[in-house]
Amino acid sequence: MVVADINDQAGNETVDAITKTGGSASFVHADVSKKADAEAAIAAAVQRYGRVDILCQNVGVFPRVFFDNMTEADWDRVMSINLKSAFFVLKACIPVMQKQKYGRIVLTTSVTGPRTAIPQLSHYGASKGGLNGLIKGIALEQAKHNITINGVEPGTVLTEGVIKEYGESYRNNPVDRIPLGRFGTPEDIAGPVLFLASDDAKYITGQTIIVDGGQTIVE
């Protein structure tokens, strides 16, 4: 496995966790909103393993700003990181998968945008809606190469990024509108990602799985 991240410490900690359980992993510093970095990350995987079987694109920022106050720079930053990065990584990865006639691609999207809306996050919602459209288009084009592409739409998940952006007090927000009665965890998202990346999901493509504790079904 190749772990690509803009955060060297977090990336190397992930590699250490994988190797401690007997896995094989290496770290590549990459800002995948930049074409050269995205290409370098895929090249590193090919150089080490000779192929790329699974791509998990898990990238996103969610700075809050009301649309009335949103600048072009605000919009471009979110689109570049959340949406354009997928374009760069997929452009680098898909030719490799086409040659080997096999690929499993999983993108992290969100319920925000495709299903719901949150004030001050219209740019974020637009970027995630764009990812869902990208998934469907690529699924149609790449099915003939035995490449599947799907997505996971998390609800409210207490990731490190959420806590950093909104503060530790965010943990204490009411969860009465989540039927399962709690916020999600990264582990709640990992299971569906693993499923979509596995051959158990080999007949699934162009789809997204909502993982939100039932939040979007509340009237």
Residues involved in catalysis? 124
Report residue 23 as tokens.
């896995």
CB atoms within 10 A of CB 41: 24
Helix (H) or strand (E) holding 107: strand 103-108
Supply the DSSP symbol for 112. B
- The amino acid that residue 53 corresponds to is D
Report the distance separating Cα 16 and Cα 52, nearest Å: 21
Report residue 194 as tokens.
């693993």
Report residue 83 as tokens.
């949406």
Token pair 């401690």 is at which residue? 20
Supply the DSSP symbol for 33. T
Please give the backbone phi and psi of residue 5, each rounded to the nearest 5 degrees, phi first. -155, 155
